[in-house]
Amino acid sequence: MSREDGDEAYVLGMCDEVLGEIGLQRHRFDWLLGDPGATGRQVKLPVDSYWPGHQLVVEYRELQHYQPVPILDKPEMPTISGVHRGELRALYDARRDSEIPARGLRLVVIRPADLDADGRGRLRRTRESDLEAVRNLLTRTSDEDSVTDAFRCWLIAEGWTPVTPTDQWTDIEALRGDECLVGEVKGRTKERGIDADIAYGQLLRRMTDASPTTCYALIVPVRSW
């Protein structure tokens, strides 16, 4: 299957439709660079698509971004960075997750699990529901949504895999090996004391698993610490 016919193109096409702007696919910023090669030269890392009018970057990350795929990772063949392709992919994903927001751009990461996908991460292409899911992801503008997106990027950089929460009221859930993290997310507030009480009460209601490998977190903006 060609890139034009793949799931990535399908998802990015829906993004174009929702945003009303044709994105710049495989765009390269001058400041988003890979590791130096043998000559010391650093190549510009591509992003899946960039919409200048919306100051938005979208990355569609399939399963190989979250779990080992030996045929793609080639663990027996180290790269110029001294790690195999799978590790380098994770390193560069983390670099995108940190550098893109730091430059004032919004980054949205879309995964197969966000859409109608099978167990192998292949999209079934149920267009109506997929389009609605993409629309919801791209139009997340509340402060709480911004905190959720930022924390999700941090989780991925730390080796966690965000998953669909088992409890419909949970804001974010992620796995890393045997560990599970369940989070309650809050945005900025003018009533920190009252809202902290409410937030901890809501988090307490999520605490249904006594396993030592499950942790619970309240996620807030730095200014609310």
Residue spans per domain, the chain: 1-139, 142-225
CB–CB of 174/153 below 8 Å? Answer: no
Report how far residue 123's alpha carbon sits from residue 63's, in angstroms, rounded to the nearest whole number.
Answer: 11
pTM for this prediction: 0.61
Helix (H, G, I), strand (E, B) or coil at 36: coil
Task: Tell me the pLDDT band of 224, cut-offs 50, 70 and 90.
Answer: confident
Q: What angle do CA 137, 55, 225 make, to 5 degrees?
A: 70
Nearest by Cα to 93 from 123, 136, 135, 48: 48
Nearest by Cα to 62 from 10, 140, 133, 131: 10
Q: What pLDDT was estimated at residue 89?
A: 81
Domain 142-225 - what CATH class?
alpha beta
Q: What angle do CA 177, 180, 184 make, to 5 degrees?
A: 150
What residues form DSSP beta bridges with 24? Answer: 50
Q: Determine the straight-line distance between the first and last CA of the chain, rounded to whole angstroms.
A: 49
Task: Tell me the pLDDT band of 66, cut-offs 50, 70 and 90.
Answer: low
Task: Tell me the pLDDT band of 162, cut-offs 50, 70 and 90.
Answer: confident
Residues in the chain: 225
Portion of the chain with pLDDT greater than 70, in percent: 87
Which sign does the torsion angle of CA 182, 131, 123, 149 carry? Answer: negative
Q: What pLDDT was estimated at residue 125?
A: 94
Helix (H, G, I), strand (E, B) or coil at 119: coil
Q: What pLDDT was estimated at residue 77?
A: 62
